[in-house]
Structure formats: structure tokens, C-alpha cells
Amino acid sequence: MSFAIAIDGPAAAGKGTISKAVAAHYGFAHLDTGLLYRAVGAKVRDGADPVEAAKALVAEDLDAAGLRTAEVAQAASRVAVNADVRAALVDFQRAFARRAGGAVLDGRDIGTVICPEAEAKLFVTASAEVRAARRYRELLERGADVTPEEVLADVRERDARDTDRAEAPMRPAEDATLIDTSAMSIEDAIAAAIAAVNARREET
């Protein structure tokens, strides 16, 4: 039996941590779809054609080193405006969503475009300032040389590009449960996500 959980939202809202915890809670597989765009973005930065890179993407590419940097995140956000790049990545994501045993996919357009029929949909967000502060702490721990102002500018630039693009813009599905994690601990955010999914499971 398949059961798809779509978790969308902007960068550093807590989506990744929540998605992993939700997948572990139900014993479902998890796909961080941002990694698909990051892997394509990294290849384009290294000189590849965006659409060819997206068509040729294989699962091992998602394990490449260095996909978590701010530079690759920006490259990902830029290739993600390309409709042909997005189209090349659809089948893989849809097949993942329908795998037996349940799946959690996190991204920007999972509940709206990739899997509008997902059994449960969440939109996880937080203010740009809170998200930038979280991302700044993460980057410092990884030894990056950045200022809080640079991280906030980066978050805002990526939000604007992901929200304003014509193709599959980031937005909550009409029937998504909104979770604003600005003032929540990660434990509370995970509990809220599981409660929202449980409510949908009872309905289906």
C-alpha cells in the first residue's frame, strides 16, 4: 500500500528535519527533492547543460560531496526555474511517492505539482529572519566564513526566486496544513507534523 506525505516550504524552515523524523516515525522512505536540484545545479556550475544534466541524473549523484553549500543552493534555485529541468525530474519523484510502504517527499512543489493527490500535505514555514538565524548557526558550525546579513540576503533572494518563478512556484497546496516553526522547538514542530499526518490518516 502506498501513502504519500508531501512536505513543502522555504529553505531552513525545518522541513528537512521534520521530514526525516516523520519518515522514521511511520517507517516510510524519505526523498529530499532539493537534492535533485542541487545535484543538477552543481553539474551546471561545473559546465554541464542544465537539461542534459537533469535527464542524466542518477541516484548516486545525490550522494555527491558539497551539495549542501550556499553556493550550490543558489545554483539549484537558478536551474529550478527551467521548465525542462523540472520536467526531467518529475517521473523519478512521482515513482518515489507511489512506492509501496509509504513515502515522505520534501521540496517546494510536492503538494501542488508532483503529488497533488498525496494523502497528507504540510507546508512548513518560518519568518525569513528566524530561518536566516538558523542557517547562519549551521554554517558557522561547518566553519563557513559568512555574516548574518549575507545569510539573510541569501535566504530572501532564494525565497523570491522560488516563489516568483512561473513554473511550479513555491506555495502551499490548498489543502495543506500550515506549520509555522518560527516560535517552535524542533520537537514541537515534529509533534505538530505527526499530529497533522495522523489526522489525515484517520480520514483516509
Residue ranges that bind ligand DC, judged by CB under 6 A: 11, 33-34, 37-38, 73, 76-77, 80, 107-109, 158, 162
Cell of 41: 545545479
Q: Are residues 93 and 168 in contact, defined by beta-carbon separation less than 8 angstroms?
A: no
**Residues whose CB is less than 8 angstroms from the CB of residue 125 and which lie 6 or more positions away in sequence, other chains included:** 9, 10, 13, 178, 179, 180, 181
Closer residue to ligand DC in complex, CB, 160/199? 160
Closer residue to ligand DC in complex, CB, 182/198? 182
**Residues whose CB is less than 8 angstroms from the CB of residue 112 and which lie 6 or more positions away in sequence, other chains included:** 8, 168, 171, 172, 173
- For residue 24, the minimal CB distance to ligand DC (Å) is 19
In angstroms, the Cα distances linking 167 to 92, 138, 145, 163, 176 are 18, 30, 33, 10, 20
- For residue 94, the minimal CB distance to ligand DC (Å) is 12
Closer residue to ligand DC in complex, CB, 36/196? 36
Q: How many of the other CB atoms lie within 10 Å of CB of 40? A: 31
- For residue 152, the minimal CB distance to ligand DC (Å) is 15
Helices then strands (H, E): number in the chain? 8, 5
Closer residue to ligand DC in complex, CB, 164/195? 164
- For residue 170, the minimal CB distance to ligand DC (Å) is 7
Q: How many of the other CB atoms lie within 10 Å of CB of 59? A: 8
- For residue 110, the minimal CB distance to ligand DC (Å) is 6
Closer residue to ligand DC in complex, CB, 89/204? 89
